Amino acid sequence: MDKLKRYIECYIDTETCNLRCHYCYIAQMRKFNNKLAKFGHTPEEIRKALSVKRLGGKCLINLCAGGETLLSSEVIPVTKALLEEGHYVMIVTNGTLTNRFKEIAKFPKDLLERLVFKFSFHYLELLRLNLLDKYFENIQMMKDAGCSYTVEITPSDELIPHIEELKKVCMQKMGTLCHVTIARDDRTGGIEVLSEKTFDEYKKIWGQFDSDLFKFKSKIFYKKRKEFCYAGDWSVYINLTTGSMKQCYFSKVIDNIYENVDKPLKFEAIGKNCQIAHCYNGHAYLALGDIPGIGNDVNYASLRNRVTPDGEWLQPKMKEFMSQKLYDNNEEYDEMRKKKINKHRLVRKVKYTTLQNAKKIVRKVYGKKNSKKDSKSN
């Protein structure tokens, strides 16, 4: 069995999309700029920068753009290179770019079994553009090719009147319901739920999908994490264009993957220094085990998988890998090391009013040297 060493969140700086969803956080922040990612590095260079040897083992690598991930043609060869290196790769996509999926379907079978697609189900946009059938055809194509997949909706207030028809479509097309995430308002420093409903009302409405993903996210949402977190060591956040490697979304830069590629990367856990209001993507970080003791009752595979009349969304090899915990394959720090890391906490209580202010404060805390990299990597 391949052991999960690290979780690598890779940001791809494509900030445009062929859909226009009202709840999209890029649209909220008015960041769409028709820009397609240009990595500036060959797939071979990226593979070397993220080699199994350099990362200490095989990793679960998530590829996600500011807009639609697969719009940039450069994503395909990079995905293949990372799979050839031995990693397990996830791609976040809206599922509409048929030609991209046809290209990926030509990958060798031993690569495809380590690839999973996180299909975002933008129901109203798919209806508006008459792409609903194409969306499910593309899912079937990747399933037939031997890939794993998961399907999730962003539960917005505008979608509530369509819930029954949405459930009917899911059962007709997939034989099971889709998963449900949580719509968030990135314009607020507290990273609120993007809804006019109270949180209790919101959970009741969308709980009818019986989604383990939604249940877990609802459980941890709004809860500030004060425990010792191993993000920065067991997981990192990387901008694939600049190479900037950060501990997490809003934290200091600890290395650059394109510099000194023949030397080991520098990992440093964030400890109790998290500056985010709450771990809004804890369904990945916490379920995978960045904070030992939190999320022990679930695993990442269970939050992403569904059982259908003809099988499961996750293929056996991918399911096995995603079911592991980071703390099972990494050593926890001793108390002396934890204490040293926690002493580096420069900001203890910060009330963010906007994400922009949060970024400014983090840049101020960690100095001008990192600010240029930060501005490119968010």
> DSSP strand E in 223-320: where?
235-239, 244-246, 253-256, 307-308, 311-312
Q: Are strands 244-246 and 59-65 parallel, antiparallel or unpaired?
A: unpaired
Mean pLDDT of 274-281: 93
Q: Which letter does DSSP use for residue 342 in this model?
A: H
CATH number at residue 257: 3.20.20.70
Q: Structural domain tally of the chain?
A: 1
Whether 17 is covered by a domain: the verdict is yes
Asked whether residue 148 is domain-assigned, the answer is: yes
Domain extent for 357 = 6-377
Q: What is the pLDDT of residue 48?
A: 98
* Phi, psi for 88 (deg, rounded to 5): -105, 130
Residue 1 resides in a domain:
no
Is residue 21 situated within a structural domain? yes
Contacts of 336 (CB under 8 A, 6+ apart): none
**Mean pLDDT across 194-205:** 97
**In this structure, is residue 317 part of a structural domain?**
yes
**Which residues in the chain belong to E strands, given as ranges?**
6-12, 59-65, 88-93, 115-120, 148-153, 179-180, 184-185, 192-193, 235-239, 244-246, 253-256, 307-308, 311-312
Q: DSSP per residue over 18-62, as a string? A: S---TT-HHHHTT----PPP--SS-HHHHHHHT-HHHHTS-EEEE
Angle at 353 between CA 362 and CA 205, to 5 degrees: 115
Within a domain: 339 = yes
Q: Is residue 208 part of a domain?
A: yes
The β-bridge relationship of strands 307-308 and 253-256 is unpaired
**Higher pLDDT residue, 369 or 123?**
123
CA pair distance 236, 284, nearest whole angstrom = 12
d(CA 46, CA 36): 18
- Tell me whether residue 107 is in a domain: yes
Q: How far apart are CA 70 and CA 97, in angstroms?
A: 7
**pLDDT for the residue numbered 31:** 57
What pLDDT score does 26 carry?
A: 58
Q: Which residue has the higher pLDDT, 241 or 17?
A: 241
For the chain, what is the mean pLDDT? 90
Q: How confident is the model at residue 349 (pLDDT cuts 50, 70, 90)?
A: very low
pLDDT at 367: 44
Q: Which residues contact 325 (CB under 8 A, 6 or more apart)?
A: 4, 288, 289, 296, 299
User: What does the DSSP assignment read for 135-155?
Assistant: HHHHHHHHHHHT-EEEEEE--
pLDDT tens-digit readout, 99-154 = 999 999 999 999 999 999 999 999 999 999 999 999 999 999 999 999 999 999 99
Residue 309 predicted with pLDDT over 70: yes
